[in-house]
Amino acid sequence: MSMALAKTELVTSGSVTIELAKIEHLNAFKSYVDECVDDGIILYEFILSHYERYLSKRIAYAKGEQLPRGWTPIRTYFCIEDGVILGSIRVRQGCGDYIENVIGHIGYETRPSARGKGVARLMLSHIQKAVLTDDVIISCDPTNIASRKVIESCEARFLNEYYYAAEEQQVRRYQLSPGA
């Protein structure tokens, strides 16, 4: 499954914007990471005190630069309200077995204090309508009911659920189509 991305990088909905990550987000990103780590989101645990280096890498990844071996370009977008990052969503370009069958083309999380307010749905809907030009795979842990509801609310088509032995985890896969 190939994937092309549209050029849209910013959406505004009231006082909320969704924008491509940039170094000007550094202070807001520090606060976001700290809250996520305090809540147990392991994705960010290793970057404490290396915020700028991590954010700079994410910006480079969007350009296809500094990618670890085997990685495809990844665009990171932030959902921001009044200078506070409410959520982050990553869109992986290209294909590969790991993307297609485990992590999917899209990954996201919501700042713990912003959960239950529609942030994840807003981000995924934006990506679906303004960024995607082809069908993509999106996956989640089957026990993450909130994420399942977000994915299903964007009319993603359930594909399958299986056990990924290499990481000892269950994976629930969906196909998400571009939206109108």
pLDDT by residue (tens digit) across 23-56? 999 999 999 999 999 998 888 888 878 999 999 9
pLDDT by residue (tens digit) across 94-124? 888 889 888 999 999 999 999 999 999 999 9
Q: Measured between alpha carbons, how far is 179 from 155 in angstroms, rounded to an integer?
A: 9
Residue 86, pLDDT > 90, answer: yes
> 73: left (phi > 0), else alpha (psi -120 to 50), else beta?
beta
> pTM of the full predicted structure?
0.89
Q: Which of 178, 154, 10, 149 is nearest to 79 (CA)?
A: 10
CB 128 within 8 A of CB 175: no
Which CA distances in Å does 64 have to 45, 57, 67, 88, 142?
Answer: 24, 10, 6, 19, 31
